[in-house]
């Protein structure tokens, strides 16, 4: 039998197979609240036999949403709607997971159906934050450089959202540090030109992600797995590299992560990505050789 259909135990959670539904934004929430669309979307995959279903990027702060249609967990009021979904997923033998996220400079955009462009401040948009005041695309409004108070607030936001995720019935949490969103922006020298302890060296650029991971692990149940999704490379000269991903993996493991979910790209608007079947599997293999579990996406 293919290993894909074999069970997998991570901490105390056993997945009935190794098929994982990756987080995929639905842009169907209002004020961060889950609704019937999300119940049907995730519930259908659970009844179809998927081993682990990871809910879409869920913002830890309102300004961390990619769009006004993103799910959120910045308030206790968001718990009940998500609990309805996890109860259904878990009742069908699947495991419910959630991706906790902050979009950084890629926040404040229209939903894709409305063009996906950055929203004007006078048309429903909001100020974005990032490691440096470097916009994602030419012509976009530059983000505000996050100060120390903002960074502490972000760390606390991830931690508090993890507590809410636990109360909502999720048994796997994934920290989103990929695709050019906030934590990835700190990792890459192309989006982070800070000169303080959060910029410059590898140790400094990885500091925020490691602090977030430690904060989430401190409140996430010991028996439940914690994943981190990273972009294994920026696909751009001078950016984040596969070698740095390999170097980061054991640090994340020490911080409490059980699995690295390997993706790539998303931080540079014109990066040339050689998309083909299985093109991110080699990254997962490289990182797995450090001694931590991996997944490959795409």
Q: Which residues are catalytic?
A: 181
- C-alpha to C-alpha distance for 87 and 95, rounded to whole angstroms: 10
Q: Are 171 and 96 in contact (CB under 8 A)?
A: yes
**Are 233 and 245 within 8 A, CB to CB?**
yes
Instruction: Please classify residue 171 by burial: count the beta carbons closer than 10 Å to its beta carbon, then call 0-12 exposed, 13-18 middle and 19+ buried.
Output: buried
| Eight-class DSSP state of 121 | T
- What contacts 83, CB < 8 A, 6 or more positions away? 167, 168, 169
Instruction: For residue 245, give both structure tokens.
Output: 């991903």
Half-sphere exposure of 235 (CA within 13 A, CB side): 20
CB atoms under 10 Å from CB of 238, counted, come to: 10
Q: Cβ distance 134 to 105 under 8 Å?
A: yes
């Amino acid at each position: 039998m293919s290993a894909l259909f074999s069970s997998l135990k991570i901490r105390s959670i056993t997945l009935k197979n190794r098929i994982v539904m990756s987080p995929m934004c639905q842009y169907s929430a209002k004020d961060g609240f889950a609704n019937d669309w999300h119940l049907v979307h995730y519930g259908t995959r659970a009844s179809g036999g998927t081993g682990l279903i990871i809910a879409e990027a869920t913002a830890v702060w309102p300004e961390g949403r990619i769009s006004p249609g993103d799910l959120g967990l910045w308030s206790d009021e968001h718990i009940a709607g998500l609990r309805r979904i996890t109860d259904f997923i878990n009742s069908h033998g699947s495991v419910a997971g959630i991706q906790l996220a902050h979009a950084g400079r890629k926040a404040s955009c229209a939903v894709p159906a409305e063009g996906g462009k950055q929203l004007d401040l006078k048309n429903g948009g909001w100020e974005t934050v990032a490691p440096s005041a470097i916009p994602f695309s030419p012509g976009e409004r530059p983000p505000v450089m996050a100060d120390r108070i903002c960074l502490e607030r972000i760390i606390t936001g991830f931690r508090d959202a993890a507590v809410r995720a636990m109360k909502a019935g999720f048994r796997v949490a994934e920290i989103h540090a990929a695709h050019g969103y906030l934590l990835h922006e700190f990792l890459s020298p192309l989006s982070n030109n800070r000169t303080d302890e959060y910029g410059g060296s590898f140790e400094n650029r990885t500091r925020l992600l490691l602090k977030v991971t430690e904060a989430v692990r401190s409140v996430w149940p010991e028996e439940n797995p914690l994943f981190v999704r990273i972009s294994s490379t920026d696909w751009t000269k001078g950016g984040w590299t596969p070698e740095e991903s390999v170097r980061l993996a054991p640090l994340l493991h020490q911080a409490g992560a059980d699995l690295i979910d390997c993706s790539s790209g998303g931080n540079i608007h014109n990066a040339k990505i050689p998309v083909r079947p299985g093109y991110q599997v080699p990254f997962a293999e490289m990182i797995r050789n450090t001694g931590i579990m991996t997944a490959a996406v795409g």
